[in-house]
Amino acid sequence: MSDNNDIGLKIGDACFANPVFLASGPAGYGIEYANYLDITKVGGIVTKTISFEPRKGNPGVRLQETPSGLLNSIGLENVGAEYFFREKIPVLVSAGVKPVISVAAEDWGDYRKLIDFIARQENIEIIELNLSCPNVERGGMAVGSNPSLLGRYVRHAKDLLPRIAILAKLTPNVSDIARLALAAEEAGADGITAINTVIGMDIDISRAKPVFKRVRAGLSGPAIRPVALDAVWRIARTVDIPVIGVGGISSVDDALKFFMAGASGIQVGTALFYDPGLPARIIEKLEAGGIPPAIKYSVDKTERKDDDGTAPHNSST
Amino acid sequence: MSLEKKRPFTVRIVENRKLSPSTYLIILERPNDFPDPYPGQFISVRVNDQTVPLLRRPFGIMDINSETMTILVKAVGPGSTILASKAAGEQVEMAGPLGGMPFSRPGGKDVVFVGGGTGLGPIIFCARSWKREATVGKMHLFIGAQTKEELLEGLYEKDFDQVYTATIDGSSGHKGNIVELLEEEIEKGGIPAAILYSCGPRPMIRALIDRVGPKFENHYTSLESVMACSLGACRGCTVPVIEDGEKTLRSVCMEGTVFRAEDIDWEEWE
Ligand SMILES: Cc1cc2nc3c(=O)[nH]c(=O)nc-3n(C[C@H](O)[C@H](O)[C@H](O)COP(=O)(O)OP(=O)(O)OC[C@H]3O[C@@H](n4cnc5c(N)ncnc54)[C@H](O)[C@@H]3O)c2cc1C
Ligand SMILES: Cc1cc2nc3c(=O)[nH]c(=O)nc-3n(C[C@H](O)[C@H](O)[C@H](O)COP(=O)(O)O)c2cc1C
Ligand code: FES
Per-residue model confidence (pLDDT) at position A312: 43
Q: Classify strands B9-18 and A63-66 as parallel, antiparallel or unpaired.
A: unpaired
Determine the average pLDDT of the residues in B207-235: 93
Q: Residue A242 and residue A156: Cα distance in Å, rounded?
A: 20
Per-residue model confidence (pLDDT) at position B102: 77
Res B233 pLDDT > 70: yes
Q: At what angle do helices A177-186 and A225-236 cross, to 10 degrees?
A: 50
Q: Is A179 helix (H, G, I), strand (E, B) or coil?
A: helix
Q: Residue B258 and residue B269: Cα distance in Å, rounded?
A: 16
- The long-range contacts involving B176-181, CB below 8 angstroms and separated by at least 24 positions, are B177/B144, B177/B204, B177/B207, B178/B114, B178/B115, B178/B116, B178/B142, B178/B143, B178/B144, B178/B204, B179/B114, B179/B144, B179/B204, B179/B207, B179/B208, B179/B211, B179/B212, B181/B142, B181/B144
Please report residues of A whose CB lies closer than 8 A to that of B5.
35-38, 277
Per-residue model confidence (pLDDT) at position A304: 53
Those of residues 105-124 in A touching chain B at CB distance below 8 A are none
With a 6 Å cutoff on the Cβ, whether B55 touches ligand 1 is yes
Q: Which of the 8 DSSP states describes residue B35?
A: P
Determine the average pLDDT of the residues in B32-36: 91
DSSP for B171-196, please give it: SSSEES-HHHHHHHHHHHT-S-S-EE
Per-residue model confidence (pLDDT) at position B189: 85
Of B5, B46, B238, the CB nearest to A38: B5
Per-residue model confidence (pLDDT) at position B1: 41
Burial degree of A148 (CB within 10 A; 0-12, 13-18, 19+): exposed
Res A313 pLDDT > 50: no
Contact A239, A219 (CB under 8 A): no
Query: Which residue numbers of B have CB closer than 8 Å to A's CBs?
Result: 2-5, 7-8, 46, 51-56, 95, 226-229, 231-238, 240, 248-249, 268
Per-residue model confidence (pLDDT) at position A296: 78
Res A254 pLDDT > 90: yes
**N-to-C CA span, chain A:** 43
Per-residue model confidence (pLDDT) at position B105: 83
Does A206 lie at the interface with B, CB-CB under 8 angstroms?
Answer: no
Write out pLDDT tens, residues B133-184. 878 889 999 999 999 999 999 999 999 999 999 999 999 999 999 999 999 9
> Which residue stretches of chain B are H helix?
78-84, 120-133, 178-188, 202-211, 252-255, 266-269
Res A1 pLDDT > 80: no
Amino acid at B192: P
Q: Residue A202 and residue A70: Cα distance in Å, rounded?
A: 11
Q: What angle do CA A256, A258, A262 make, to 5 degrees?
A: 115
Per-residue model confidence (pLDDT) at position B2: 46
Distant-in-sequence, close-in-space partners of B173: CB < 8 Å, separation ≥ 6? B151, B164, B165, B166, B167, B181
Cross-chain residue pair A37–B54, CB shorter than 8 Å: no
Contact B226, B267 (CB under 8 A): no
Q: Is A231 helix (H, G, I), strand (E, B) or coil?
A: helix
Total beta-carbon pairs less than 8 A apart between chain A and chain B: 108
Instruction: Confirm whether pTM is higher than 0.90.
Output: yes
Contact B235, A74 (CB under 8 A): yes
Cross-chain residue pair B229–A275, CB shorter than 8 Å: no
Res B65 pLDDT > 90: yes
B180, B181, B184, B186: CA torsion to nearest 10: -110
Per-residue model confidence (pLDDT) at position A317: 41
Nearest to B73 by CA among B34, B107, B53, B44: B44
Contact B258, B221 (CB under 8 A): yes
Res A310 pLDDT > 60: no
Of B5, B51, B54, the CB nearest to A35: B5
Q: Residue B85 and residue B77: Cα distance in Å, rounded?
A: 12
Contact A277, B9 (CB under 8 A): no
Cross-chain residue pair A72–B53, CB shorter than 8 Å: no
